[in-house]
Every structure is written in C-alpha cells, then in structure tokens.
Amino acid sequence: MDIKMVDLQGQYLRIKNEIGTAIEEVLMSTAFIQGPQVKEFAKNLSDYHRGAHIIPCANGTDALQVAMMALGLKPGDEIILPVHTYVATAEVIALLGLIPVFVEVDENTFNIDASQIKDKITSGTKAIVPVHLYGQCADMTPLLRLAKEYNLFVIEDLAQALGAKYTFSTGETKMAGTIGHVGCTSFFPSKNLGAYGDGGAILTTDKILAEKIQMICNHGQRIKYHHDSIGVNSRLDTLQAAILNVKLKYLDDYTLRRNKVADFYDSQLSKISFLKIPHRASYSTHVFHQYTLKTVGIDRDHFKKYLEDKGIPTMIYYPVPLHLQKAYRQTGTGEGSFPVTEKLSKTVISLPIHTEMTNDELSYICDSIKSYHG
Ligand SMILES: *Cc1c(COP(=O)(O)O)cnc(C)c1O
C-alpha cells in the first residue's frame, strides 16, 4: 500500500483528458496572462459563491495582502488574528507594517476563541482576521457582533475552507469568504481546490471594494499605464485558471469524498481512549482540508513515528505556535501565554485525507491506530 497525505496524481488521472484539452487551448491561444479563462474562472467561482465578486490573484498570501491594502489599513494599525494558524496570515500583516495581535483559539474547534477577542481590542484595532482552519468556519456570530460594535473590518482567511457554509441562528447560510467584508483563499496544489502551481482569489460582496482590489492586483491601474494607487503584480495565470475551471466542477464531489473519509475515521476512532476526533461545530459545514486529531495522554511524536514505520504518513499543523516563532515574538507573549495553542502544537496530529483514498487504506490506517499501545 502506498498511502499518501494527498494524492494529486490519482486525482489528476481521473480528469486527465479534460485538463489536457484545457491546457492545450491556452497554449494554442498564447494568452498566458489575463486570458479569457481567468475571467471565466472568476465568473464560475462567483456563481459558486452566490454572486460574490471574485478577484483572482497569484496566491493566498497575496490575497491577504491585497485585501488589507484595499481596506486602507495603515502602518501601526492593529490586526487581530488567531495564534494557531499558518504563518502567511501573520506575515502579510507584519509586511504591511501593521501590528499582528494574537488571540487564543478554542481547544475544540481550533479556531479563534471569539470570547477572548474583546480583551485585545484597543483604539488602534482596525480588523479581525478569522481563519477557518482545517476546513471549518470560525464562530462568526460573536465575532461579527464585536466587529460591528468596534467598527472593525472582518477579513476571512478561507484558504483551508473553500466551500464551507456557515449557518446563522436565523437559519440563514453564507459561504465561507462572503461572511465578513472580504475573504482570501488559496489554490495551492494541496488545498481543497488546488491548481497545478500557485493561485489565489479574493472574495467580496462589496462592489466598490472589489474594484479597488482588482486595481491593486494589477499595479494600481484601471486603465493601462494610468496608476491611481500603489499596487502589486498579482495575477492568476491563464493556465492555472483553465485548470481550475475544470476542477471547480468537481469541488463539491471532492468535498463529499473528504467527508466520507472523515466519517469513516470518526466511526473507527471515536472510542479510542488516547484520541479525540475532530469536533464538528453546529454552525458550520466541514470541508475537511485536514482531519486533525488530538492525542490524549500519549507521546504524540512516538505515535507519529509508529504510524510512519507502518507506512502511514501524518503531519503536524502546526508544530511551533506563531508567538514562539523567532520572527513573530511579541513583548509579553512568551511560553505560557497561549496555553491552548501551545498544548495543541504538542498534541495534534493530522491523518491522510484526500479525494482518492480507498477503503482498504482507511481500514489499514484505523487498524494500525487501534493496535497502538503507547
Ligand atoms: C495555504 C494558506 C495560506 C497561503 O496560501 P498560499 O497560496 O500558499 O500563499 C494562507 N492561510 C492559510 C490558513 C493557509 O492554509
């Protein structure tokens, strides 16, 4: 058995012909930059998001940066974000001269603990960046309430949660990325909707903001060689757009397949005393970018090694919390200041999950886990 964390090759082989045709079309047209497939993809992704404006860009990190630039955030502004996230979220904040302000996460959902946001709000706070980690939306209702009360922008990082749906207490649902002012996502190959290279997109339901974002992505110009604002060069390649146009059609099927894997794991692992299966929040669907367990009372790294020896790859997201990273140390936030996140960094483990997993692989993984004895 050749178990992989993600199986991009297997996924490709199922759509090989369609992809080949789409790529060939771009190659023959030679419209490698801003070809018609880019607009087509923006339209398709917009339809998928119930008509939200979509601005494709070069990658998810750029999406975050451009969104923050478009909102007019200025050096010194404080931006609240969860401390348990991928580095890109904090990186762009720091790069723009903004001040990242970390907030602890909820130990069950792994997402920002909304009840701890208020304490971090000052007169300098301008935005909150909820990250929908591992594929499940953060608890947006209390977060939106705070944002409204303190007049803060909400910038969703949905790089791991494209396609997730949030349900409000009224029963109304919204797609991840269209809940706050702006959403930022990534098409990194291993993401739920992965390109064959880098890619990203910015989502917003605000037409004026969408125009600003579009302009910033293209050197701050609306008309060629007329630069109204300082921008960046961040475009989605036509080739990647053509590939994504094919793959977007399968996104819901991919999500279903990931959920089937997660359901299988849940059913097999829920009674194992040294593991806690992922918590499923009532307010969000889960697109299972990762299937992340918490280990309880065992040496996580020993367990990881045991699985590795059995040919089962696993990953740790993330082994070192942001506040303990050399680049992001903040005054007064040493070891012990974010106990939940610090504990997660020592206890979480993510199992293989992708669209091509077989029942044999899943059974083998679960049987191997069941026969682990510390
Ligand atoms: C992948 C990811 C990003 C960055 O996306 P890139 O396309 O790799 O730049 C940002 N935030 C989160 C949470 C991610 O998982």
Report pLDDT digits (tens) over 168-218.
999 999 999 999 999 999 999 999 999 999 999 999 999 999 999 999 999
Q: How many CB atoms lie within 10 A of CB 124?
A: 12
How does DSSP assign 263-332, residue by residue?
Answer: HHHHHHHTT-TTEEPPP--TTB-B--S-EEEEE-SS-HHHHHHHHHHTT---B-S-SS-GGGSGGG--TT
Phi, psi values for residue 182, rounded to 5°: -155, 145
**CA 32 from centre of chain:** 27
* Residues β-bridged to residue 24: none
Testing ligand 1's pocket by substitution, the residue of 186, 232, 244, 318 carrying the most ligand atoms inside 8 A of its CB is 186
Give the tens place of pLDDT for each residue, 9-28: 999 999 999 999 999 999 99
Phi, psi values for residue 240, rounded to 5°: -65, -40
**Position 309 pLDDT exceeds 90:** yes
Q: In the CATH scheme, what is the code of domain 8-104+111-248?
A: 3.40.640.10
- 179 Cα–ligand 1 center, Å: 19
Relative to the CA of 61, which ligand 1 atom is closest? Answer: 9
As for ligand 1, residues whose beta carbon falls within 6 Å of it are 59-61, 85-86, 88-89, 131, 157, 159-160, 186, 188, 198, 200
Under 8 Å between Cβ of 56 and 201: yes
Under 8 Å between Cβ of 164 and 286: yes
Testing ligand 1's pocket by substitution, the residue of 6, 57, 61, 83 carrying the most ligand atoms inside 8 A of its CB is 61
How far is 17 from 19, CA to CA, in rounded Å?
5
Q: Give the pLDDT confidence score for residue 349 in this predicted structure.
A: 98
Phi, psi values for residue 235, rounded to 5°: -125, 150
What are the distances in angstroms from CA 108 to CA 87, 111, 265, 289? 21, 8, 17, 16
Name the residue with the closest Cα to ligand 1, atom 14.
159
* Domains of the chain, residue spans: 8-104+111-248, 251-370
Average pLDDT, the chain: 97
Q: Give the pLDDT confidence score for residue 19 in this predicted structure.
A: 98
What are the distances in angstroms from CA 100 to CA 78, 126, 128, 198, 323? 6, 11, 10, 25, 10
Give the tens place of pLDDT for each residue, 42-65: 999 999 999 999 999 999 999 999
Is the pTM above the cut of 0.95?
yes
Under 8 Å between Cβ of 191 and 159: yes
Give residue 332's pLDDT band: very low, low, confident or very high (50, 70, 90).
confident
What are the distances in angstroms from CA 349 to CA 138, 151, 179? 20, 37, 29
Which pair of tokens denotes residue 219?
A: 């050197």
Testing ligand 1's pocket by substitution, the residue of 91, 131, 157 carrying the most ligand atoms inside 8 A of its CB is 157
Q: Give the pLDDT confidence score for residue 330 in this predicted structure.
A: 78
Under 8 Å between Cβ of 290 and 134: yes
What are the distances in angstroms from CA 142 to CA 60, 103, 116? 26, 14, 11
Whose CA is closest to 45, among 153, 156, 187? 187
CATH classification number, 251-370, choose in 3.40.50.970, 3.20.20.370, 1.20.1070.10, 3.90.1150.10: 3.90.1150.10
Share of the chain above pLDDT 90, in %: 95
- The single-letter DSSP state of residue 134 is G
How far is 51 from 55, CA to CA, in rounded Å?
12
What are the distances in angstroms from CA 47 to CA 26, 89, 172, 203, 281? 23, 26, 18, 12, 26
Q: Give the pLDDT confidence score for residue 183 in this predicted structure.
A: 98
Question: What's the whole-number mean pLDDT along residues 283-296?
Answer: 98
Under 8 Å between Cβ of 52 and 178: yes
Relative to the CA of 199, which ligand 1 atom is closest? Answer: 7
**Position 350 pLDDT exceeds 90:** yes
Phi, psi values for residue 215, rounded to 5°: -65, -45
